[in-house]
A and B are shown apart, each in its own frame.
Chain A
Amino acid sequence: MQRSTCSTLFALALALSAGAAAATTSPWCQSGKPVKVAGLNWESGELLTELVATVLEQGYGCRVERVPSNTITIENALAQNDIQLVAEEWVGRSEIWNKAAAAGKVKAVGNVIVGATEGWYVPEYVVKGEKTRKIRPAAPQLQAVSDLPKYKQLFRDNEEPDKGRFLNCPSGWTCEGVNSQKLKAYGLTDSYVNFRPGSGAALDAAVASAYQRGQPVLFYYWSPTALMGKYRFIQLTEPAYNEACFKTLTDRNQAKPCGSAAPEAVIQAGVSRVFHDADPVLIDFLGKFNVPLPLLNAALAGMANNPGSAAVQSRRFFATRPDIWRAWVPDDVAQRIAARNTGK
């Protein structure tokens, strides 16, 4: 007992002294070099980039340049230190990242998003009903993907009326192949149409429209996203993640895949090796940088609803949630950010 108190005190002292040392200045920014940040173009990436950039600019007095580009180019540029920072990196999902990480050219820091999910969803009212809109639960027993054959009439595809419709990812997305294999693995090819919506916008529109009308819909989705913040969905349970089985799902040519949920997503901040070694202060911040998932989803929903960009949501976040962002940075840095974000 006494020992543990002692070590806690010691850790506290260490943290305090580290905080004091790391307090104010970032060596990279001090030397006048700009921090080049990847301008990510999806909802959550946009917002997280904005948050990081704000801390760097207002808290550490850095010069931040946003470089818009697509993922592949960004990862290549990061490996070459052409850019220094990616605010939302799905670690291990791309070949380019894996190679660069193995060669030690890039580093992943912190846990930017914890608990990001992907899977097969139905609106909550399909299972539980909804009192305010007087929707009766259409499938109170529906829990797992293995229940789906029973409910094919509920999710009827009007182009092939004797089958249900499963809304897959648009063709060309990695998840489209995985889901097509899952349909095979779960024995759903006879009872469900593998419907590819053609584009992300069309998928969103179809789900949003069904939800607003209180109609049943079965679809693949993921968080953090605006729709996840706006609506209540229930994820259908799948067999637990199994590495061997998931390999059969990612290989389109496997005739007999076995079912498995997706592996847990590891979402971190990606930095170039050069930047990582040069600036322990900012790396310390990135190590603590994390936005709780429900808050992120809600902010993304706000982005989708309001005519307003990530910048607006970012400003609102810094003005209203100091409880979260103060934990990322030492006190004096937090003071500087607070000073810029209150009197509005």
Chain B
Amino acid sequence: MDFFVPLDLREPINQAVDSLVVRYGDRLHVLNDLILQGLLLPLERALRGAPPWVILLVVALLAWRATRRWQVALPLTVACYLIGCFGLWDALMQTLALVLVATVLAVVAGLPLGIVAAHSRRLRAVVLPVLDVMQTLPTFVYLIPAVMLFGLGKVPAILATVVYAICPLVRLTDLGLRQVDPDVQEAAHSFGTTRWQMLLGVQLPLAWPSILAGVNQTVMMALSMVVVASMIGARGLGEEVLAGIQTLDVGRGLQAGLAIVLLAVAIDRITQGFGRVRRPIRDEERRS
């Protein structure tokens, strides 16, 4: 009688989540422990334990190595120093650990996926729409089930971040590989390269700038998830922002927000630098 056929997905989904929690919750909590103890906590402890000047020195060296310009490296280091001046150094290290682990996991999962997608048209037709869904689904919708399955805190935050941030890496890896000059590949082929040699020696190096652009985007999206992740109890800069806005302490929220921006700028310049450097060097090599 109604124009719209009544459809209700709520109950089946609720029941599915409940039974997942009862059946696999304990095992997934163990996985949570493994990621924490094996990956995140050691890194976090190292970052928080290291004297700040060591970290700043590493930032300076990385920035210089990436851009080869002190005019860039120095301001970036000063920016990180500033975050410490705000009294947010500890929160910064926690956030950095979270973003780094999320990025590493995204690369470990995303790079192979991108490579496979580049080589199989059929797989690409499946992978890309799934990525679109992962990127557009409102984050909170899967954050809360993630909490039920993995527990509160950093691990579900990392997993949600990977889900959200993996997309550009897969896409740009796929795109980069498919845009490798066919002539070059044919030439390599005629020298009798195996498929692995072709991938590792020809395709990946030539697609490198595109892949690094993907990594850059992934890190940026991971950083933008930091505040959302704090809504399920991940500590760090995001928690500062959340606490600030929830108590109407706009200054506190904005200060922590600014710290996130500074961190983002630093990571962005460094990763972009690494993506760009390759080309000029190669040109020089060719000339010599």
- The chain A residues found within 8 Å of chain B, CB to CB, are 158-159, 161, 167, 170-173, 195-199, 201-202, 205-206, 208-209, 212-213, 215, 307
A158, B29: Cα distance in complex, Å: 10
* Residue from the set B18, B152, B230 with the largest chain A CB neighbour count within 10 Å: B152
Q: Chain A nearest CB: distance from B96 CB in Å?
A: 16
Partner of A307, one of B11, B21, B140, B232: B11
Indicate if the CB atoms of A172 and B242 lie closer than 8 Å: yes
| Interface residue B132 (Cβ < 8 Å from any Cβ of A) | no
Q: Chain A nearest CB: distance from B190 CB in Å?
A: 55
A161, B32: Cα distance in complex, Å: 13
Indicate if the CB atoms of A195 and B239 lie closer than 8 Å: no
Nearest B residue to A305 by beta-carbon distance?
A: B14
A181, B8: Cα distance in complex, Å: 45
The digit string for B126-153, where 1 denotes a CB below 8 A from any CB of A, is 0000000000000010011101110111
Contacts of A199 in B (CB 8 A): 231-232
Indicate if the CB atoms of B147 and A159 lie closer than 8 Å: no
Indicate if the CB atoms of A195 and B22 lie closer than 8 Å: no
* Residue from the set A195, A198, A199, A213 with the largest chain B CB neighbour count within 10 Å: A198
Indicate if the CB atoms of B147 and A170 lie closer than 8 Å: no
Indicate if the CB atoms of B147 and A202 lie closer than 8 Å: yes
Contacts of B268 in A (CB 8 A): none
Partner of B21, one of A158, A195, A209: A209
Contacts of B140 in A (CB 8 A): 201
Which B1-38 residues sit within 8 Å CB-CB of chain A?
8, 10-11, 18, 21-22, 25-26, 29, 32-33, 36-37
Indicate if the CB atoms of A197 and B26 lie closer than 8 Å: no
Indicate if the CB atoms of B233 and A198 lie closer than 8 Å: yes
Q: 28 pairs across A/B with beta carbons < 8 Å?
A: A158-B36, A158-B153, A159-B36, A159-B41, A159-B153, A167-B152, A170-B246, A171-B247, A172-B245, A195-B153, A196-B243, A198-B239, A201-B140, A201-B144, A202-B143, A202-B147, A202-B231, A202-B232, A202-B233, A205-B145, A206-B152, A206-B233, A209-B21, A212-B18, A212-B22, A212-B25, A212-B148, A213-B29
| Interface residue B206 (Cβ < 8 Å from any Cβ of A) | no
Q: Chain B nearest CB: distance from A164 CB in Å?
A: 14
Q: A209-B147, A212-B25 are in contact. Are A202 and B11 (CB under 8 A)?
A: no
A147, B153: Cα distance in complex, Å: 25
- The chain B residues found within 8 Å of chain A, CB to CB, are 8, 10-11, 18, 21-22, 25-26, 29, 32-33, 36-37, 41, 140, 143-145, 147-149, 151-154, 230-234, 239, 242-243, 245-247
Nearest A residue to B35 by beta-carbon distance?
A: A158
Q: Chain B nearest CB: distance from A176 CB in Å?
A: 9
Nearest A residue to B153 by beta-carbon distance?
A: A159
Q: Chain A nearest CB: distance from B17 CB in Å?
A: 10
Indicate if the CB atoms of B152 and A197 lie closer than 8 Å: yes
Contacts of B152 in A (CB 8 A): 167, 195, 197, 202, 205-206
A161, B153: Cα distance in complex, Å: 13
Contacts of B36 in A (CB 8 A): 158-159
A165, B173: Cα distance in complex, Å: 41
Nearest B residue to A195 by beta-carbon distance?
A: B233
A180, B143: Cα distance in complex, Å: 26
Indicate if the CB atoms of B154 and A205 lie closer than 8 Å: no
Contacts of A209 in B (CB 8 A): 21, 25, 147-149, 151
A209, B234: Cα distance in complex, Å: 18
Q: A172-B247, A212-B22 are in contact. Are A198 and B231 (CB under 8 A)?
A: yes
Contacts of A212 in B (CB 8 A): 18, 21-22, 25, 148
Q: Chain B nearest CB: distance from A230 CB in Å?
A: 12
Q: Chain B nearest CB: distance from A68 CB in Å?
A: 21
Indicate if the CB atoms of A172 and B153 lie closer than 8 Å: no
Contacts of A171 in B (CB 8 A): 239, 242-243, 246-247
